[in-house]
Amino acid sequence: MGVMMLLLLGCELTGKALGCKEGERLGQLNVKAAFNFPNGTALPTWRADKEDCCQWERINCSNIRNTMQVTKLQLSGLPQPRSLDAGALFPSGLCELASLETLSISGNELAGSIPRCLFNMTTLHTLDLSYNHFGGAIPPSLFSSLKLLESLSLSGNAFEGSFSFSSLLVLFCLSNCIPSSRHGFVPSFLMEQHDLEVFELFNCRLEGQLPSWLLENNTNLGYFNLMGSSFSGHFSLNSSLTNYNMWLIDVASNSLEGELPSYFSYVFPNLGDLNVSRNSMQGRIPSSLCHSPTASNLRMLDLSTNRFIGELPEKLMRCEILGILILANNNLRGQVLPRVANLSLLTYLSLSDNQFYGEISTGLLNSPSLSFLDMSSNNLSGVIPDWIGDLQELSVLSLADNSIEGTLPLSFCKLQKLEFLNLAGNDIGPSIPSCVNVSALKHLHLERMNLKGSLPQFLQAASSIVTLSLSSNALSGGIPSWIGSLSTLRVLLLAGNSFEGLMPQELCQLHNISIMDLSHNHLSGRIPSYFNKLAFGSSQVPDGTFTISGYGFTWAVVFSFPYVSTPQEGGDAVEVLFTSKHRLESYGGRVLPVMSGLDLSCNNLSGSIPLQLGNLSDIRSLNLSYNHLSGSIPVTISNLDQIECLDLSHNNLSGEIPQRLIELYRLSTFSVAYNNLSGRTPEPKYQFATFFRESYEGNSFLCGWQLGNCRSSGGLPLTPPPAEHQEDIFRTAFRWSFAGSYAMAFIGTVFTLCLSSYFWTLFFDFVYRHIPSSCAFIDRLFPMH
Ligand SMILES: *[C@@H]1O[C@H](CO)[C@@H](O)[C@H](O)[C@H]1NC(C)=O
Ligand SMILES: *[C@@H]1O[C@H](CO)[C@@H](O)[C@H](O)[C@H]1NC(C)=O
Ligand SMILES: *[C@@H]1O[C@H](CO)[C@@H](O)[C@H](O)[C@H]1NC(C)=O
Ligand SMILES: *[C@@H]1O[C@H](CO)[C@@H](O)[C@H](O)[C@H]1NC(C)=O
Ligand SMILES: *[C@@H]1O[C@H](CO)[C@@H](O)[C@H](O)[C@H]1NC(C)=O
Ligand SMILES: *[C@@H]1O[C@H](CO)[C@@H](O)[C@H](O)[C@H]1NC(C)=O
Ligand SMILES: *[C@@H]1O[C@H](CO)[C@@H](O)[C@H](O)[C@H]1NC(C)=O
Ligand SMILES: *[C@@H]1O[C@H](CO)[C@@H](O)[C@H](O)[C@H]1NC(C)=O
Ligand SMILES: *[C@@H]1O[C@H](CO)[C@@H](O)[C@H](O)[C@H]1NC(C)=O
Ligand SMILES: *[C@@H]1O[C@H](CO)[C@@H](O)[C@H](O)[C@H]1NC(C)=O
Ligand SMILES: *[C@@H]1O[C@H](CO)[C@@H](O)[C@H](O)[C@H]1NC(C)=O
Ligand SMILES: *[C@@H]1O[C@H](CO)[C@@H](O)[C@H](O)[C@H]1NC(C)=O
């Protein structure tokens, strides 16, 4: 009998030690049932007939007091069709796990308040509830009972109220909190924290004074991230403080003012990354940011988009391991880089939109690994130095919008890695050395320069080129037929030159072209019918993306254009002004795949509009205005389903306007003014209810309610579209109707293209709001030499 007992006991013990506890197992099956999507296929290895839940996916066990117990559960990101009440998951589910140390259930659409039983999970040291829909107040006693908690992530929820806990050590992360406390809106419990090592309040929209006291009260803090809140005030620190642990401070995108304290780097001697960008900081850049050039750990400094003044401090210019320096969009002056500069590890330098002046200085030569150099929109003068060819790692070079003059030095041809070159808006010319190595080149912007002669032939070797802009120069001659060999081209901008002759047949080999602007030239002859072979948006070619690596950073530079911002909530804000001028940073967005247009306006084209243009079913903008086109408007134009801008004005078109045009439901800008059209204007239905006199005037034989000249049954009332859907179209289109043209971020000139996608979500940043109403107007934007 005794032997039997022992044996049984032994069996039981071993059984337990092998598998997980029954209570935990059943609890997990309840969790699975709660998720139960789709159709019970979530967590397939969690099966009632598989006894040992330690073997199930996303679960880890440890042997605690001779029993295997679940200590780690990683349930983030399970697909959920709709929000799930947390109450279904915790009691008699997760809360059965008495020894859980790590619980991650982020991104699971969980809703409700924090379940009470979580208070009892006293062994937790890592808790990640982020990106769910938890709401309500966080019970104060929660964190006092979770004494071992080291890492807590609550971001992306809707918690409210203030709360406190005692021994948080590592991560604090909140979002959407509306706390109240003595210190502005920062939760008051933070007053009692002294052992924080990582502090992160990411995109919290908190207001009030910058909580500098957190830095003073937590001398072990190593990582301090308050990016994207609305903190104001100054950096005020007790200068006798020293924190050797701090390696990252990110206070970007707040409303901070005042100066950066001069003792900053004495307080944080080991600081590696400092991001203060997008604030309203003033004053000079403290020279002590790199208190001792050789002992400093500063690798990344981003002070862009502030109001810093003065010259680049000498000490900073010798900061030995500085790899990334971003000072764009300030009021800085002086030489770039000063002669004393010895930033030998610098790979990324952005100084655009400042007031740097003088010649490009040899200080740059001590940074041989520079691969990104943006000095655009400054007041630089002189010539491009001969030694530029020694910066062999350069893959991005922008000197746009300065006063640089002369010719490109021959040594420029030594740069073999150039992928992006922007010299626009300088007095550089009249030609580019033909030895320039264009084999890696993807984006070339040479507009508004002093280029003369024919289209540079060496470009023929640019086998990866995506964007070619030579607008607003004095180039002449014909458009060469080799242009057809640039098969990767997506954007071709040759507007505002003196190109003449016929458009070559080879243009039709540019299958993947999305945007072609040949306006404001002297092109003559007919519009080739083969344009229907071009994609104009129907091919999806990835944007030019490439990465720059260096010194522990990998920088993804995405080139696509123009800048697209995400829609604002409610979708009412039509105008989102450009945040930046013509800088590289503006090249965000995913727009290239959806943007397409052909602009042949202001040339000497004659003949009729080819029927085949109606095959460009993905084109968004077609501008043929200011030519000598004759014949009638082909009815095939009404096949351009995606078109948003159609300008045929100032030609010699005759005949009637095809009534089927009213089927162009996306049209927001339309003009046939100043032709010889006759008959009636299209019925005022759908989009055509939004086009008024300006769209039709200057056609003596045209009659319509807009023109008020129809003799019989004239003056048709403006019929609002009947259905709700159409109502929307109408209203949206009305909002978009001003959207005749905009400046593309990277060229700063106007391309008359509009692109609304009005029932989709993209908004553009309009700079110019009105359709250029004459060639003369446009000529001011495309000054010719
Ligand atoms: C789930 O079950 C329903 C009906 O039983 C079925 O229509 C649906 O296709 C199933 N979904 C999946 C993903 O199996
Ligand atoms: C946890 O379990 C998973 C499998 O479920 C396994 O891949 C992983 O290595 C385990 N982790 C630890 C720390 O044991
Ligand atoms: C927490 O545990 C205590 C006893 O250990 C128990 O009385 C209490 O009901 C538990 N609370 C919850 C919410 O489960
Ligand atoms: C630091 O913490 C204490 C409470 O421990 C608090 O009284 C004080 O205001 C906090 N801030 C500073 C700057 O000391
Ligand atoms: C700064 O800190 C020192 C010592 O830590 C203290 O004596 C001094 O009062 C503090 N100064 C201020 C302005 O808080
Ligand atoms: C600094 O912060 C801004 C805003 O969050 C961000 O866009 C930028 O990339 C950051 N700079 C660096 C060098 O990471
Ligand atoms: C620049 O710094 C490097 C070390 O980072 C040093 O070897 C070199 O001598 C310095 N050059 C000048 C001109 O000071
Ligand atoms: C630009 O530099 C020139 C001299 O090179 C100077 O005359 C001019 O005032 C400067 N412009 C600005 C805006 O600083
Ligand atoms: C251009 O650069 C590539 C490397 O990007 C190199 O292979 C090629 O030889 C260079 N061409 C000339 C003409 O120097
Ligand atoms: C043009 O686009 C097509 C897809 O639409 C793609 O397969 C092809 O590679 C692209 N051609 C070039 C030269 O990029
Ligand atoms: C315009 O084209 C016609 C032929 O189509 C030609 O006779 C005329 O000279 C051209 N005008 C100009 C200014 O190029
Ligand atoms: C162009 O469209 C017409 C109909 O409008 C069609 O018959 C023709 O096949 C199309 N051509 C091409 C190349 O798609």
Residue type, 514: S
How far apart are the two ends of the chain, measured CA to CA in Å?
111
**379 and 502 co-located in one domain:** no
> Among 651, 618, 612, 666, which residue's Cα sits nearest to residue 634?
612
Alpha helices in 477-618 (DSSP H): none
Q: What is the distance of C-alpha 200 from the center of its chain? A: 23
744 to 214, 766, 768: CA distances (angstroms)? 43, 9, 10
**129-133, 603-607, 770-774: least confident range:** 770-774
Q: What is the Rg, in whole angstroms, of the alpha carbon atoms belonging to the chain?
A: 32
Q: Which of 311, 377, 379, 405 to mutate to test the pocket of ligand 8 (most atoms within 8 A of CB)?
A: 379
Give the residues surrounding ligand 10 with Cβ less than 6 Å away: 487-488, 511-512, 539-541
Answer whether 575 contacts ligand 2 (Cβ < 6 A).
Answer: no
Residue 707 to residue 698: CA distance in whole angstroms: 10
Which residue(s) pair with 498 in the sheet?
476
**469 and 616 co-located in one domain:** no
SS3 state at 136: strand
SS3 state at 681: coil
| Ligand 12 atom at minimal distance to the Cα of residue 533 | 13
Answer whether 331 contacts ligand 8 (Cβ < 6 A).
Answer: no
Q: Is it the case that residue 538 has pLDDT exceeding 80?
A: no
Domain count, the chain: 5
Residue whose CA is closest, atom 10 of ligand 12?
615
Note whether 362 and 338 are within 8 A (CB): no
Q: Which of 413, 415, 416, 546 to mutate to test the pocket of ligand 9 (most atoms within 8 A of CB)?
A: 416
**201-205, 357-361, 707-711, 734-738: least confident range:** 734-738
**What is the distance in A from the centroid of ligand 9 to the CA of 460?**
14
Phi then psi for residue 302, to 5 deg, are -125, 105
Both tokens of 30, joined, read 């309840």
Note whether 469 and 493 are within 8 A (CB): yes
**What is the distance in A from the centroid of ligand 5 to the CA of 195?**
19
Q: Is it the case that residue 453 has pLDDT exceeding 50?
A: yes
29 to 87, 105, 577, 604: CA distances (angstroms)? 15, 16, 53, 76
Q: Tell me, what DSSP letter sits at residue 573?
A: -
| Contacts for 777 with CB less than 8 Å, ≥ 6 apart | none
**178 and 59 co-located in one domain:** yes
Domain final position from 522, 555, 574: 574
Phi then psi for residue 232, to 5 deg, are -125, -170
**H or E segment and range at residue 6:** helix 2-18
The answer to whether the peptide bond before residue 610 is cis (omega within 30 degrees of 0) is no
Domain final position from 422, 437, 452: 437
Best mean pLDDT range from 126-130, 406-410, 768-772: 406-410
Q: What is the distance of C-alpha 212 from the center of its chain? A: 30
What mean pLDDT do residues 41-64 have? Answer: 84
What mean pLDDT do residues 165-174 have? Answer: 38
**182 and 38 co-located in one domain:** yes
Give the residues surrounding ligand 6 with Cβ less than 6 Å away: 227, 252-253, 275, 277-278, 300, 302, 324, 326
What mean pLDDT do residues 535-551 have? Answer: 46
Residue 365 to residue 229: CA distance in whole angstroms: 39
What is the tens place of the pLDDT at every residue in 118-132? 888 888 888 888 778
pTM above 0.85, yes or no: no
Give me the pLDDT at residue 409, please. Answer: 94
> Among 85, 185, 76, which residue's Cα sits nearest to residue 133?
85
Confirm whether 625 is domain-assigned.
Answer: yes
Mean pLDDT value across the chain? 75
**339-343, 555-559, 722-726, 749-753: least confident range:** 749-753
More confident residue, 698 or 590: 698
More confident residue, 732 or 425: 425
CB neighbours of residue 663 within 10 Å: 17
Give me the pLDDT at residue 256, please. Answer: 93
| Ligand 12 atom at minimal distance to the Cα of residue 611 | 5
**711 and 746 co-located in one domain:** no
Confirm whether 382 is domain-assigned.
Answer: yes
Domain extent, residue 397, equals: 285-437
Note whether 739 and 765 are within 8 A (CB): no
Residue 386 to residue 408: CA distance in whole angstroms: 8
Give me the pLDDT at residue 462, please. Answer: 94
Domain final position from 387, 418, 437: 437
Q: Residue 239: pLDDT band by 50, 70, 90 thresholds?
A: confident
Residue 670 to residue 738: CA distance in whole angstroms: 11
**What is the distance in A from the centroid of ligand 7 to the CA of 342?**
6
**652 and 754 co-located in one domain:** no
Give me the pLDDT at residue 52, please. Answer: 83
Give me the pLDDT at residue 8, please. Answer: 33
Give me the pLDDT at residue 115, please. Answer: 83
Give me the pLDDT at residue 290, please. Answer: 85
Residue 581 to residue 748: CA distance in whole angstroms: 8
What is the tens place of the pLDDT at every residue in 490-535? 888 899 999 999 999 888 888 878 888 899 999 999 998 887 777 6
317 to 186, 269, 343, 376, 379: CA distances (angstroms)? 37, 17, 6, 20, 20
Residue type, 374: D
**22 and 167 co-located in one domain:** yes
Ligand nearest to the CA of 593: 10
More confident residue, 776 or 126: 126
Confirm whether 589 is domain-assigned.
Answer: no
Answer whether 62 contacts ligand 2 (Cβ < 6 A).
Answer: no
Confirm whether 430 is domain-assigned.
Answer: yes
Q: Is it the case that residue 576 has pLDDT exceeding 80?
A: no
**502 and 466 co-located in one domain:** yes
**48-57, 158-167, 515-524, 633-642: least confident range:** 158-167
Give me the pLDDT at residue 29, please. Answer: 83
What mean pLDDT do residues 13-26 have? Answer: 63
Q: Which of 335, 357, 360, 427 to mutate to test the pocket of ligand 8 (most atoms within 8 A of CB)?
A: 357
What mean pLDDT do residues 621-629 have? Answer: 92
Q: Residue 644: pLDDT band by 50, 70, 90 thresholds?
A: confident
What is the tens place of the pLDDT at every residue in 263-277? 888 899 999 999 999
CB neighbours of residue 6 within 10 Å: 10
Q: Is it the case that residue 219 has pLDDT exceeding 80?
A: yes
Give me the pLDDT at residue 588, please. Answer: 27
**183 and 42 co-located in one domain:** yes
Give me the pLDDT at residue 9, please. Answer: 34
Q: What is the distance of C-alpha 673 from the center of its chain? A: 38
Give me the pLDDT at residue 170, please. Answer: 37
Phi then psi for residue 689, to 5 deg, are -75, -5
What CATH number is associated with residue 647?
3.80.10.10
Both tokens of 137, joined, read 């107040």
Ligand nearest to the CA of 401: 8
Confirm whether 1 is domain-assigned.
Answer: no
Give me the pLDDT at residue 700, please. Answer: 87
Answer whether 239 contacts ligand 5 (Cβ < 6 A).
Answer: no
Q: Which of 437, 459, 463 to mutate to test the pocket of ligand 9 (most atoms within 8 A of CB)?
A: 437
**What is the distance in A from the centroid of ligand 6 to the CA of 584?**
14
Burial class (CB in 10 A: 0-12, 13-18, 19+), 207: middle
Both tokens of 106, joined, read 């982020």
Residue 347 to residue 344: CA distance in whole angstroms: 9
Q: Is it the case that residue 778 has pLDDT exceeding 60?
A: no
What is the tens place of the pLDDT at every residue in 667-694? 888 899 999 999 999 988 888 888 888 8
User: Sign of dihedral through CA atoms 417, 419, 420, 423?
Assistant: positive
Phi then psi for residue 134, to 5 deg, are -60, 140
Ligand nearest to the CA of 498: 11
Confirm whether 224 is domain-assigned.
Answer: no
478 to 313, 336, 430, 453: CA distances (angstroms)? 51, 40, 18, 10
Q: Which residue has the tokens 């069709």?
A: 81
| Ligand 7 atom at minimal distance to the Cα of residue 342 | 1
SS3 state at 751: strand
Q: Residue 4: pLDDT band by 50, 70, 90 thresholds?
A: very low
Percent of the chain with pLDDT over 90: 33
**447 and 515 co-located in one domain:** yes
Confirm whether 770 is domain-assigned.
Answer: yes
More confident residue, 209 or 553: 209
**553 and 414 co-located in one domain:** no
**745 and 697 co-located in one domain:** no
**What is the distance in A from the centroid of ligand 8 to the CA of 450?**
20
Note whether 504 and 484 are within 8 A (CB): yes
What mean pLDDT do residues 230-251 have? Answer: 87
Confirm whether 400 is domain-assigned.
Answer: yes
The answer to whether the peptide bond before residue 684 is cis (omega within 30 degrees of 0) is no
Residue 770 to residue 288: CA distance in whole angstroms: 49
Q: Is it the case that residue 438 has pLDDT exceeding 90?
A: yes
Q: Is it the case that residue 755 has pLDDT exceeding 70?
A: no
Residue 369 to residue 348: CA distance in whole angstroms: 9
What mean pLDDT do residues 322-330 have? Answer: 93
Ligand nearest to the CA of 98: 3
Q: Are strands 309-310 and 300-302 parallel, antiparallel or unpaired?
A: unpaired
Q: Residue 547: pLDDT band by 50, 70, 90 thresholds?
A: very low
Q: Is it the case that residue 40 has pLDDT exceeding 80?
A: no
More confident residue, 694 or 403: 403
| Ligand 12 atom at minimal distance to the Cα of residue 612 | 1
Q: Which residue has the tokens 């998720």?
A: 35
353 to 85, 366, 428, 588: CA distances (angstroms)? 51, 23, 20, 18
Give me the pLDDT at residue 530, please. Answer: 80
